[in-house]
Structure 1
Amino acid sequence: MNHRLKATSIGASAIGKKPGAVRRDSPLPPAWPSYTGDSLFVGTSPSGRVSVYVDPTLGDPALQNAQDLISDADRVVDANDALFGTTGGPVSVIVFALGGATDGTGGADHMGCYYITGAAIEVCASFGSSARVSALFEAELSECSMGGNLCGVSTGEALSRWCAAVISNNVLSDFVTAPQWAQNGMADYVNRTDPTDQNPDSTGCGMAFLSWLMSQGYGLGRIAQTMVSLRDAGTLAQLYANLTSNAASGAFPAFLTAVRALQGGVTTDDPFGGAVQPAQLAHVAPFTVALAGKIFSAILADVATGKPAHQIVASVRAVLGPAARR
């Protein structure tokens, strides 16, 4: 008999419970990669696929992060499934001050690169910006969908960061690495894969390269599924060859030519504007799409009635006001 666990509403009173206090209907938390404190169960996503916990010592801001993740988790897992062309398994997530940070900069972590071994996910709390928590969740969830491949090497790290960027509208832009790769001489990590996910140069090269491919119309979903098929030893040059039917040997020269032609150089992880291509916009949060539509409509209405520039700006700010408080 199936008794699907549903989200339960808890308030500040639950946060104030003494350490170790657990509601009777709370499931036991998994063993986390690094977190060893109390895990307060907050609830599950409506589909039952994502169970969310929080460090109870962080108070209401972290609880809000956890509750917002419950609301957004199914959107994230559905988008992730679409990118990889697979259906992922159930996962558990703990929101806490990873690395002592509460602004999301502590990142995220999980143990394995598969749903069986990597289903216990840690994400850094981000007080007042739950979208960053969702993005960090996707960064780790995407690695679970790589089937035991790519996770731990430079190509997989770039792919997971791109998945997070597309699904969250790039709210983790402060994790940027491509500019550092460019500033350090643009080393060739296209023809070789770096066996680490901790080198910003190799990750940055991957970020810029995938941006370049997406700007040419190759969707992130197609890119992700091709990279998974190439496995750990696969290179970005092989990815290029599989997608374009051109020789792998031409990948890095063509990429460098495109980079050197950029006005202003590489200043973000998306120097070629790949994220704004239609194939990627399909994964943007519905709220972001709706907000963009409202802003565009307000501008068109003001232009049609001949309003001056300062009034158009005021109209846009009026639309953004409620969004900023969301």
Structure 2
Amino acid sequence: MSTSVNVNEPLSPQDRTRGLAEGGTIPAATARHSVLIGPGGTIPLIQPPHYVYTFAGSTADFDVAYDNTLKSVGQALADAILGRCEQDLSQLRSIFGGVSVGRFSVFIDPVPPGPEKPYAYHFGCAGTEIHCVVDYATDGDLANFLNCAEVAEVLMAAQAKGWNCGASAGEGLSRVLATELHPASLGRFASASHWLNSARPDWVTQTEGSDGHYVSIGCATLFINYLRHQLRFSLAQIVQAAGTTLQQTYERLTGSTDAFGPFASLLEARFPPGVTVNLPNDNPFPLSEVPDVMFEPAKLAGKDVLLTGLVPKFTGAGQQNSFVNSQSPIAGKVVPGGSIVSMHLVQGETP
């Protein structure tokens, strides 16, 4: 079953269902795209040709179709989404506190000429018509990553507590959530390094009104991961504490007003400004400061290291009646949680 549909027309679930069932051409209309796209990418504003879609199938909350020219590749990608979309939606709804929306219509589009792929978009934050372009023919996980990011944005709009998919904080959240469910497909959508390799402006206290600038998106992605993996808040707690800025979200979670300072200082200690960073998974957390255990008895030194989330390793004398006379890394260095702190022991009383 197929229908000729212009991809720039935002449709209600009722219109989309009727269109898939009956066929027909939908006249072009203008709408703001909410996008998930790679660094520097844009989705052309020129009206595309009328795509003709094959209806691939439905679930309780999704209708999925693919462009006719994709043939078996389109069917395979559609099947991948149909096989996972309800599970992903259930997990996302739980994170958002049970928010409900109408049916989703997912369209798998052909790869256009130019470098801007893969990508996904929908028409405004509440738009439930989602378009995915996947440049790897058999990558069903990437198709689901793209779909998850856009579904998360629709749930933000339905929640209506402050997350805005067209701004940096909301775009960062959509990427964190899609990565949570499909971590292998973050790939070129990783954004944290863009902020770390910039002048590191404060997009925590303020929110940039764009979902396409990788410096502000990177700051948002890092800060949300900081809330989760450094400060140990759950995704549900973070999402349901929504504010119009990440600063407000932080205040609602912690009761403190100093959001950006400790976050930026911790990252500066781990990634000094001016040193190029490559962070492919967008998450360096948790980070730990190495304690000063010089001249401590072995047992106390081991305990202090463990309390900071690091792993003690002893060399030299046995741990009975011995103390630390050298350590690596040095005290005060910020390292990834779980790193080893090597301590050389010598026999005798602590000096």
TM-score bracket, normalised by the shorter chain, equals: 0.5 to 0.7
Q: 1:119 aligns with which of 123, 128, 135?
A: 128
SS at match of 1:39: strand
Kept in 2, the 8 Å contact 1:108–1:123? The answer is yes
In the alignment, structure 1 residue 223 sits paired with structure 2 residue 238: yes
CA drift of 1:173 comes to 2.5
- Distance of aligned partners of 1:242 and 1:170 in 2 relative to their CA distance in 1, 3 Å threshold: farther
CA drift of 1:146 comes to 1.1
Alignment partner, residue 238 of structure 1: 248
Structure 2 residue ranges without an equivalent (≥5) = 6-17, 34-46, 288-351
2: distance between equivalents of 1:98 and 1:243?
A: 42
The structure where helix makes up a greater share of residues is: 1
In structure 1, give the amino acid aligned to 2:256: N
Q: 1:208 aligns with which of 197, 222, 240?
A: 222
Q: CA RMSD in A?
A: 3.0
2: distance between equivalents of 1:109 and 1:84?
A: 21
Q: 1:57 aligns with which of 66, 69, 79?
A: 69
Q: 1:135 aligns with which of 126, 129, 145?
A: 145
Compare CA radii of gyration and give the structure with the larger one. 2
Count of matched residue positions in the alignment of Structure 1 and Structure 2: 243
- Distance of aligned partners of 1:101 and 1:139 in 2 relative to their CA distance in 1, 3 Å threshold: farther
CA drift of 1:108 comes to 0.4
Kept in 1, the 8 Å contact 2:4–2:53? The answer is no
CA drift of 1:62 comes to 2.1
1: distance between equivalents of 2:263 and 2:121?
A: 31
The structure where strand makes up a greater share of residues is: 2
Alignment partner, residue 95 of structure 1: 108
Q: 1:262 aligns with which of 259, 267, 270?
A: 270
Alignment partner, residue 286 of structure 1: none
Describe the superposition over 1:24-71 as per-residue Cα deviations: whole angstroms up to 9, x where unpaired.
Answer: 9952579697763001101012xx210000011012122100111111
Kept in 2, the 8 Å contact 1:49–1:91? The answer is yes
- Distance of aligned partners of 1:239 and 1:70 in 2 relative to their CA distance in 1, 3 Å threshold: same
In structure 2, give the amino acid aligned to 1:83: I
Kept in 1, the 8 Å contact 2:3–2:52? The answer is no
- Distance of aligned partners of 1:99 and 1:238 in 2 relative to their CA distance in 1, 3 Å threshold: farther
1:70-219 → structure 2 map (5 Å cutoff): 70-85=82-97, 86-100=99-113, 105-114=117-126, 118-125=127-134, 126-147=136-157, 149-215=163-229, 216-219=231-234
- Distance of aligned partners of 1:70 and 1:27 in 2 relative to their CA distance in 1, 3 Å threshold: same
TM-score by length of 1: 0.67
SS at match of 1:150: coil
Kept in 1, the 8 Å contact 2:3–2:20? The answer is no
Describe the superposition over 1:54-91 as per-residue Cα deviations: whole angstroms up to 9, x where unpaired.
Answer: 01101212210011111111111111111111123211
